[in-house]
Amino acid sequence: MKEKDLKKIQREAEMVFSSYGACTNHPEVVFEEPEPRQFSFNSPFGACPTCLGIGSLFEFDESLIVPSKKESIANGAIALWNSKIELNWQVRGMTELFRKYNFDVFIPLNELNDDQYYALMHGDNQVIKRKNYAGREVMDAVWEGVIPQARRLFHQTDSQSRKDHFQKFMSQTTCPTCRGKRLRENMLSVKVGGINIIESTELSIEKGLVFFRNIGEKLSEKEKFIAKQILKEIIDRLEFLNNVGLSYLNLSRSAGTLSGGEAQRIRLATQIGAQLTGVLYVLDEPSIGLHQRDNEKLIGTLEKLRDLGNTLLVVEHDEDTMIASDYLIDMGPGAGVEGGHIVASGTPDEVMNNPNSVTGKFLKGVEKIEIPKKRREVVLE
C-alpha cells in the first residue's frame, strides 16, 4: 500500500474527542458540567436569561395600545398618547415616516397596508439622510416605532406616575426565548426517559407516578444504580400526594391557583414525608374541593399521621371524617353568634346517641334532609 493511501485511511479513521461539552461543528453551543443548580429556574445558572426564570414577560400589548383600528392617529387611535401635547410632539417626529410610507395622521389605521402599519408600530430601522436647517446632510433614523419607543421610555423614566401610565398598556406574555419553560435552552436539552425536567413537571401526579415507576426499563444497569435512591424519593412523594386525592394536579401548578383544601392536603403530604412525631396539627376543612370518592384516601392519610404519634385537631363538616374520628366535639347549638358551646362530645357513637346533638341525629340517620320533590327553576339572565 502506498504511503499516500495509508495517510488517507488514517485521516478517515480519526475521531476527535474533547474534554469540553462542545461540538467542533457547532462551537456556539457549549454544555457545562451538569450541576443541580443548572436545573433550577430560581438559580441564575439555570434560569432563562430573558425572563430570569419567571417564564413570562410584562410587555406592551398592541391590542391595548390600539383599541380600535377604525380610528386615525389624529382621532386618538394610539391610546398610549393620552394628551394633545404628546400627540403633537409625536407627530412632529413622524414626518419622515409619513413621507416614506405615503400616509398621514388622518387615515384610519385599518386602511394602512402591512408595511405601513408595521413601520408605525415597530419602527423603520433604515437610516436615511436629510438636510438640517443649515442645509447640511445629517444621518437620522426615520421612526423608532410606537412600541420600541414606549419600551425605552418605560425603562428610562424615574417617574412612578409615568410608569403607572405605561403599565396600563402592558400585559403578561409568554417568554419568547424559553417559551414559558423558565430554564436555559441547554438545560432543556438534557432529557431522561425522553423528556426534560420541565416536561416531567407538566405531567399530572397520577401520570408522573406511572412515568417514574416505569422509567427503570429505559435505564442501563449503571444508570439504575445511580438513580435508585432518587427514584425512590420521587415516587414516595408522588404517592403521598396521590393518597390525599391530588392525583389530577400537575407538579407545575402555581400555588396561587390552589384551593384552600388542596393547599392543606399538599402540606399534609409533606408532613407525612417528614415523619415527624409528637406534633399537634390543626386542620380547617381539609376535604374542601375533594371528590367524595377520594375521602377514604384523605382519612387514611390523617390516620397515618396519627399513628406516627401525632395529634390531629380537624374542623370539619364532612360526614365520613366525623365518623372516622377518635373523638368528636359538636359545637353549637346554632351557627355563628348562636354557637360557641359544646353541645356534645365523645366518640362518634356517643355523640350520635346524645339527644342534645343535632349533628349526632343526622349522623345516625334519625334526621335527614329530604330531596325536594320539586326543584327550583333556574332563571338565566
Which pLDDT belongs to residue 96? 78
Structure pTM?
A: 0.65
My answer on whether 237 and 316 are in the same domain is no
My answer on whether 221 and 288 are in the same domain is no
Cα–Cα separations (whole angstroms), residue 341 to 234, 329, 350: 45, 10, 17
My answer on whether 40 and 80 are in the same domain is no
The mean-pLDDT minimum among 58-67, 259-268, 317-326 falls in 259-268
Which pLDDT belongs to residue 117? 92
- Residue 381's pLDDT band (cuts 50, 70, 90): low
With respect to residue 212, please indicate whether it lies within any of the assigned structural domains. yes
Q: What is the mean pLDDT of residues 193-208?
A: 92
Which pLDDT belongs to residue 310? 93
With respect to residue 46, please indicate whether it lies within any of the assigned structural domains. yes
With respect to residue 373, please indicate whether it lies within any of the assigned structural domains. no
**Residue of 30 and 85 predicted with greater confidence:** 85
With respect to residue 309, please indicate whether it lies within any of the assigned structural domains. yes
Which of 174, 194, 214 is a domain's end point?
A: 174
Which of 229, 251, 273 is a domain's end point?
A: 251
Which pLDDT belongs to residue 78? 92
My answer on whether 324 and 276 are in the same domain is yes
CATH code, 155: 1.10.8.280
My answer on whether 105 and 170 are in the same domain is yes
Contacts 24+ apart (CB under 8 A), 61-70: 61/169, 61/170, 61/171, 61/173, 62/121, 62/147, 64/168, 64/169, 64/170, 64/171, 65/121, 65/146, 65/147, 65/150, 65/169, 66/109, 66/121, 69/108, 69/109, 69/110, 70/108, 70/109, 70/110
Amino acid at 54: I
* pLDDT tens-digit map of 282-294: 998 888 878 777 8
With respect to residue 196, please indicate whether it lies within any of the assigned structural domains. no
My answer on whether 100 and 164 are in the same domain is yes
Number of structural domains the chain divides into: 4
My answer on whether 260 and 318 are in the same domain is yes
My answer on whether 167 and 147 are in the same domain is yes
Helix 221-243 to helix 295-307 angle, to the nearest 10 degrees?
100
My answer on whether 132 and 207 are in the same domain is no
- What count of other Cβ atoms lies within 10 Å of the Cβ of residue 128? 14
Please say if the pLDDT value at position 5 is more than 80.
no
With respect to residue 150, please indicate whether it lies within any of the assigned structural domains. yes
Determine the structural domain holding residue 350 and report its residue range: 252-364
With respect to residue 377, please indicate whether it lies within any of the assigned structural domains. no
* pLDDT tens-digit map of 110-134: 999 998 999 899 887 665 555 555 6
My answer on whether 259 and 244 are in the same domain is no
With respect to residue 133, please indicate whether it lies within any of the assigned structural domains. yes
Q: Confirm if 60 and 149 have CB atoms less than 8 A apart.
A: no
My answer on whether 247 and 260 are in the same domain is no
Q: Confirm if 153 and 166 have CB atoms less than 8 A apart.
A: yes
Please say if the pLDDT value at position 51 is more than 80.
yes
